[in-house]
């Protein structure tokens, strides 16, 4: 198999013509992550001595908003927190990254969403989510339509009520705003919604669940991606952890290798990849150049502990090593 050069390589170090700071609207979850470091996941009935526990700002929506902001986007966050100390901490964390929280609602009497995260010494994580205030998200359609005007992407995941996410995606599509969807935790996507998706970002588990076929290897991921495009999504990116990512669009499928780094904590790696991808595409990068930037950002993320603290800034991503060239599949 001959290795093709990345025709967008020259874009890796500067923005092509396009909006240098594209507007990204993120609809999604905000959680306080209670992170417990353990030697290994306890077996049934096993009592284990952990290393330490920390409370860190997280939630897929908030992580993707922070990633988009640190990648150079102008970001608005739509979501809900509780009227408790955790909610204020999460709101303050977004403000520090310059994220517009006008549409972030505080729900009286509800706890802020919480994620209980076990991180093993090998970097593997296991997560249990308590939705809390996230379950109370209701979109303000008039306000959302206004926010979507001129935005590069509406970014959404499935940690918020499905009916609200689906409605937001339809509104974005009607407004001419591209939709980047990360269907996590994975659940079925209704047939009418597929053609509204510009860029679908899935890991191998989500790709398999939605396409009905294995996606563990780059070649399998390419086939699963083609199946997902056939449902209506314009382009698909399947992330494969240490095996990189596969980009699938009308031009076919390409495998982008990961950077060889030691994983300390994989929490927020996918969210880091996605936010970087959204901003790069919003700046006018091609899909392959955007995926390469996402891989570089995720490689930096997994070498640090915690969700939002580990999300890198654009200048650090641009100084980081380049992945090896992609190969067509």
Catalytic residue numbers read 271
Is the distance from CB of 261 to CB of 131 less than 8 angstroms? no
CA distances from 27 to 140, 211, 256 (A): 12, 24, 28
User: How far is residue 138's CA from residue 207's CA, in Å, rounded to a whole number?
Assistant: 28
Residue 274 near residue 236, CB atoms below 8 Å:
no
The shares of helix, strand and coil residues in the chain, as percent rounded to the nearest 5, are 35, 25, 40
**Among 99, 23, 21, 19, residue whose Cα is nearest residue 59:** 99
Are the beta carbons of 290 and 298 closer than 8 angstroms? no
H helical segments located in 150-304: 162-175, 204-211, 218-230, 269-282, 287-301
**Spatial distance between the Cα atoms of 16 and 182, rounded to a whole number of angstroms:** 25
Buried b / exposed e over 213-248, threshold 16 CB at 10 Å, is: eebeebebbbbbbbbbbebebbbbbbbbeebbbbbb
What kind and span of H or E run contains 143? Answer: helix 141-148
Report d(CA 156, CA 181) in Å as an integer: 5
């Amino acid at each position: 198999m001959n290795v093709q050069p990345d025709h967008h390589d020259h874009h890796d170090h500067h923005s092509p013509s396009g909006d240098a700071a594209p507007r990204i609207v993120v609809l999604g979850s905000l959680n306080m992550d209670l992170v417990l470091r353990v030697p290994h996941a306890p077996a049934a009935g096993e009592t284990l001595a952990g290393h330490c526990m920390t409370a860190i700002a997280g939630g897929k929506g908030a992580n993707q908003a922070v990633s988009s902001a640190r990648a150079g986007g102008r970001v608005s966050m739509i979501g809900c927190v509780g009227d408790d100390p955790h909610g204020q901490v999460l709101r303050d964390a977004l403000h520090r990254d310059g994220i517009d929280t006008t549409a972030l609602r505080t729900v009286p009497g509800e706890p802020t969403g919480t994620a209980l995260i076990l991180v093993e010494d090998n970097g593997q994580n296991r997560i249990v989510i308590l939705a809390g205030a996230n379950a109370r998200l209701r979109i303000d359609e008039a306000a959302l339509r206004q926010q979507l005007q001129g935005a590069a992407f509406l970014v959404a995941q499935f940690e918020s009520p499905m009916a609200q996410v689906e409605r937001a995606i339809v509104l974005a599509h009607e407004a001419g705003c591209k939709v980047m969807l990360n269907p996590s935790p994975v659940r079925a996507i209704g047939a009418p919604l597929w053609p509204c998706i510009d860029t679908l970002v899935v890991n191998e588990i989500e790709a398999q669940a939605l396409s009905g076929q294995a996606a563990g290897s780059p070649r399998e991921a390419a086939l699963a991606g083609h199946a997902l495009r056939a449902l209506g999504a314009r382009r698909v990116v399947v992330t494969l952890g240490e095996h990189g990512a596969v980009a699938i669009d009308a031009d076919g499928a390409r495998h982008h290798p990961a950077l060889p780094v030691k994983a300390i904590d994989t929490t927020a790696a996918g969210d880091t990849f996605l936010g970087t991808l959204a901003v790069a595409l919003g700046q006018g990068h091609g899909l392959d150049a955007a995926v390469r930037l996402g891989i570089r950002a995720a490689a930096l993320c997994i070498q640090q502990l915690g969700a939002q603290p580990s999300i890198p800034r654009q200048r650090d991503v641009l100084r980081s090593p380049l992945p090896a060239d992609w190969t067509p599949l």
